[in-house]
Structure 1
Amino acid sequence: MVDDSGLTSSLIEAQLPTYEQRILRTQVIYASASEIFSAIRSVDFFQSPVVALPNRARIAIDALRSRRCAHVPSGSQFRFDQLLEPDGGFHLLAEEPEHAIVLGFIGRWWEKGYGRVEWEPEDFRTFSLPGYGIGAWSFTALAYDTRTSILATEVRVHGTDAGARRTFRRYWTVVGPFVTAMSGPLLRLIRDEAEVASAVIR
């Protein structure tokens, strides 16, 4: 078994040490940590069809289930900070500037609208309402040398009770491969953005 503990941020470990599902992906980037985190916030995630298509499909499916019309323009953009908007569903849990950032999400992903519930970041670690999934998503930049970094992204998911864990396992059987597939293209988008900025600075 490969030891990947050095790629895991202590920030995500502090927020969600117990989990049933995990994704960890890495990317070598020829840029500094500051350039990488600037790229994380500025890159359009929907530049990649692998990221855009499943998310747009989910919006359309939720609209049909709600019997309302959803306008999902093919040219729409989606950036990091939109995750933290009211409709984004995420909260910032922890941040170590130019090293790591952790976002959290609580809901029932298998329901329309992701089954969102109101919560505050300070409640994340103690949230225990039955029937919910708790997710943490992190980005961590590790310096390899003065101009090269390794960017790791990690997703952890924990069910608050046995019923939630069973339901999420069924949901993950269908959705998990798509979520896993998004990680590589997303990291490459960030890499390309950061390396362009790094080349300009040089």
Structure 2
Amino acid sequence: MKSLDIYLPSYEFRSRHEVRVDADAARADRALREVTFKEVPLVRALLFARGLGLSGGTDRVLSTMVPRASVLEHVPGEGIVLSLTGRFWRLRGRGRDTPATAVVDFRARQGLLSTETRVHVLDPASRRKFSRYWRVVRPFSGLTRLLILRAAKRRAEGSA
């Protein structure tokens, strides 16, 4: 898979998480794509609190992200890269203009699952708004990503 630098080389905000996994890349990637909200109920609750709706317990977590994003790259056995644009600091995150771009990846390599989020905000006023939002949301966003990675680890290692 291509580096995130290809998709978003310039950014002001970043978050990265990884979990070691006793599995090859293909198995780890499959496990990541198959994680359901039943395995990560806190993620479901946090997304609902954010106003993103309530997915069913058997819905796959990554599949629910795809309709809200553009798929920049998807390599089976390696991972997926998604892009979103909008005003993320607003409840619904949408507006006529798109002052912010986020790129999110979920990757699998031999022995490792990872996710990275990068956000580029176009203008100073929007950057200030996003910065306040990010201070509040970042810990929960990070927790969400870690819970997804840990659930994928359990699946990949056969204890889901």
Shorter-chain TM band: 0.7 to 0.9
Please list the CA deviations of residues 68-127 of structure 1 after superposition, one character each: whole Å capped at 9, or x if unmatched. xx7x47846443122222xxx11110233322421111111122321166xxxxxxxxxx
Structure 2 partner of 1:95: 74
Distance change >3 Å, CA 18–CA 77, structure 1 → 2: same
Distance change >3 Å, CA 141–CA 116, structure 1 → 2: farther
Distance change >3 Å, CA 180–CA 73, structure 1 → 2: closer
Structure 1 partner of 2:61: 79
Q: SS state of the match for residue 113, structure 1?
A: coil
Which consecutive unaligned segments of at least 5 residues does structure 2 have? none
Structure 2 partner of 1:135: 102
Q: SS state of the match for residue 77, structure 2?
A: coil
How do 1:171-190 and structure 2 match up within 5 A?
171-190=133-152
Q: TM-score normalised to the size of structure 2?
A: 0.86
- 1:104 equivalent to 2:83? Answer yes
Of 40, 45, 49, which aligns to 2:41?
Answer: 49
Please list the CA deviations of residues 140-174 of structure 1 after superposition, one character each: whole Å capped at 9, or x if unmatched. 2222xxxxx11111111110121221110011121
Fraction of identical pairs, as percent: 30
Question: Aligned pair count?
Answer: 159
Rg: which structure is higher? 1
**Matched-pair contact (CA < 8 Å) for 1:40–1:190:** yes
